[in-house]
Every structure is written in C-alpha cells, then in structure tokens.
Amino acid sequence: MSAVTRLGLALALSFLAGISLTTVYAVQAEKNASPENRLPLEELRTFTSVLDAVKQDYVESVEDKALLENAIRGMLSNLDPHSAYLDAEAFQDLQIGTSGEFGGLGIEVGQENGFIKVIAPIDDTPAQRAGIQAGDLIIRLDDASVKGMTLSDAIARMRGKPNTPIVLTIMREGAKNPLKIKLVREVIQVKSVKSRLLEPGFGYLRITQFQAKTEMNLQEALHAIEKENQGTLKGLILDLRNNPGGVLNGAVDVADDFLDDGVIVQTKGRDQDSEQTFNATTGDLLEKAPMVVLVNGGSASASEIVAGALQDHRRALVLGERTFGKGSVQTILPLGNGAAVKLTTARYYTPNGRSIQAEGIKPDIELKSFKVANENADDALLKEADLTGHLQNDGGNGAEPATDDAESQQLPMPQTTVGSDSALAKDDYQLYEALNMLKGMTLLQSRNAPPQSPLPEGGGKG
C-alpha cells in the first residue's frame, strides 16, 4: 500500500475517532494534549496494519465499508451490552419501535455470549401468545444458528412480512431439551397502556413499554376507568411487569403524574451535559389515593425509574420480584449517513441517590408469581448482572427507602384459592394479592383521615 493510501487511512481513522486533523500541526497538538485525551497513535498504526493485511491478503475481497463498520461494531460491543452501532436499517427500526408499530414477533431481546436472550415478550403478540418467556435463550432461527450472529442480524431475521412463519429453537431453564416454537409474524402495534376496572373503586393500568405518547395514553386510560367507575378511584394498581423500558422522558412523565414535587430521577456521567435532574411538577392524578406497583425480573430501565421514584417518595407500595437492574442511560448519536451510535453515556439514580445498576429495585413486599414452581425459579430470568460486560454498580446506592422492617417482607406462596376472587388468584396471583393489599391501604388511609366537622348543635335528621 502506498504512503498516500496509508495517510488517507490514518486520516479516516482520526475522523472516526471524532478528531479532524487538518494540518500537520495537529500532531504537535497531540503531544501537548492531556494523557486522557491523547490519541493512541501506536494502536491506530496497528489497526491500520491489520486493515492493510486484510485488504491485501485475505482469501476473499472484502469491501472497505464492511470492514470499517465491523470494526466499529466490535469497538462498541466490548464497552457494555447496551452500546451498539446502528446501521441505517437498525436505526430506522429503533425509531419505529419507539413510535409504537413495527413488524415481527413481539420480543424484546438482548445478546449474551453470542446467543440471543429474551428480555421480555410484548403483550398480545405472537411471542407472548406462544409462551415465550423472559430469560429464554434463542439458539436457532429456522435452520440458522445464532451463535456469532450480530444482534441486529438476528432481529432482522425475526422481522419480516406478516403471515410468514419462523421457527425459534430455545433453551429454557429447567427444560431438559431445546424447545421448538413456531410463530407467525404479524404487524406489531404496541399498545403501551392497557386498563380496566378490577372492581368498583379500584383501577388497573398496565404499561407494556415507554413510548413518546405513553403519558398521554395513560391519562386517557385513567380518565376512561374513572368514567366507568362513575367517580374518582379509591386506589390504583400500576403494572410494570415484563416492561423492558423505552423512552426516558416517557418514564419521567408517568412518574410525574403521581407525584406533587421532588426529584424523579438523576443522571450522572463523565460529560457535564449528561448530569441532569428531573423534578416532579404539581399535580397528582389520583389525588394521593393509594397505589401498588407490580414489578418482576422483566421490569427494566424506564420501568425501574418509575418504580424507584414512587418507592423512594413512599407514594406507592412496590410488590413482586426484584427488577432487571439496568441503571444506565443510552444516547442516540446520529452519524449523518442514516446510521447512528447508541452509546451508554450516564448512570441514573433514584431520588434517594440509589444506583440500581446490576442490582435492580428490591420490592417492598417480595412475591413470586403463582406459576413459579420452585424457590429459585426467578434466578432463571435474565438480569442486567447476567449480561457479559455489564457496568458495575458504582456504589452510589444512597439511602434505602424507609420500611417498617430492615428487610422487605415476603408473602408465602398460596396452597389453595377460595372465595369470589379465586379466578383472579389462579390466573394472576400477584395481581390478586396487589388488589388485596390496595384494599387494606385504602382502609388504613380512610381511618387515618381527619374527622369531619361535627354537625351544629341541635342539627341532624329528624
């Protein structure tokens, strides 16, 4: 390779690193730069030599674009599980996903040891109806092994035209043999908020993921419940189970709907611009009526922001299983050519200063799902701490939320279900217990309410 070509490669690499070397004096500037910001010139020369060797001697010709994109992917994939290079197609998919509609199977996935792991299935999708579970390890897509396949390639294979089939081969904790599950692709329209009136006075809201319009949809759903109830609610259950997260502002706005003041979440990173504090504004949609928040191992990221904020402010009781533990913030950096970089730029902290990175939110009351067969079954769920290369918790856990006991309580598993609510208990025991807990909180609140003014002397009904 000629000296001119090598110089061109070096300049290209410098551009990729975010540095523009316009004159030879930039070399001298590098020598004067601080050690932390100095370009690794020796390592860049090594990279250039390897690139030269591949171009000259590899058994088949490879396009420069493919080589450089793969180098970028490798650089980012070794930072942490959530930093990634998004080509034009992947970037478009991300934008479509946050808008609430895309084609495919309806699975939120991550990568682990070269395989694809399910973070959570999305409600009312082929994946959820077929029984795909959080923590499932996908090892084959049709006849293709996913070992060594990039996450974006795997997602591209799972997506496709509606009404076309695909067979997923998965490994599941506790299953002796791989499971083959046939799914038919659909147009996935994610309804981020679902609602219903459980019984007079008690409402239920489920957020499946946080999108740009989630907070607006939540307000509409809450209004519909109150209309059906013909009045304000006595209490509300907010279900964040298997919610993999989404847009940060969506989570902040949802938490703000139930808080009057105080910090919702703080973000802290190396760059000063990444240090932000999001505060609540006046106005509680429930007017301080009791709340229970349901979480499990599939509750991640934005879900943990909401649960942590409501827990720290003692605005809601958090019930269920320890959450996923994704306490990092990703920033999307468009590159101008249709591609983008998804880069972890900060950690987030709950109002009490807790970092839940790789630890998760510990519920106030721990309660396993009714369908869990053994004590250690929640260990089968994929958590942030299980991901290769995850960020370590920086120890900034701050103060734990105040509780009556030093440890969170744990409800026993049921032996039988009786009474008029037995159907709910059998179908969703965590929701059943959340409703019972909410009724107790409502009763306690009414007993602690200030007494009404007495009637004037001589007043009363005749």
Burial of 397 (0-12, 13-18, 19+ CB in 10 A): middle
* Residues 450/451/452/458 CA torsion (nearest 10 deg): -150
Other CB atoms within a 10 A radius of the CB of residue 287 amount to 8
Which pair of structure tokens corresponds to residue 310?
């409501």
Catalytic residue list:
301, 312, 326
In sequence order, which ranges of 292-388 are alpha helices (DSSP H)? 302-312
The SS3 of residue 142 is coil
Which value, in Å, is the radius of gyration of the alpha carbons in the chain?
Answer: 26
- CA-nearest of 191, 192, 293 to 239 is 293
Q: Among residues 112, 138, 24, which one has the least CA distance to residue 383? A: 112
How do 263-268 and 235-239 pair as beta strands? unpaired
Q: Distance between CA atoms of 238 and 285, rounded to whole angstroms?
A: 13
Q: How many beta carbons lie within 10 A of that of residue 352, not counting itself? A: 17
Q: Are 387 and 344 in contact (CB under 8 A)?
A: no
The residues, ordered by sequence, that sit 6+ positions from 262 with a Cβ below 8 Å of its Cβ are: 279, 280, 313, 351
In Å, how far are 86, 328, 336, 446 from 341, measured between CA atoms? 6, 16, 11, 52
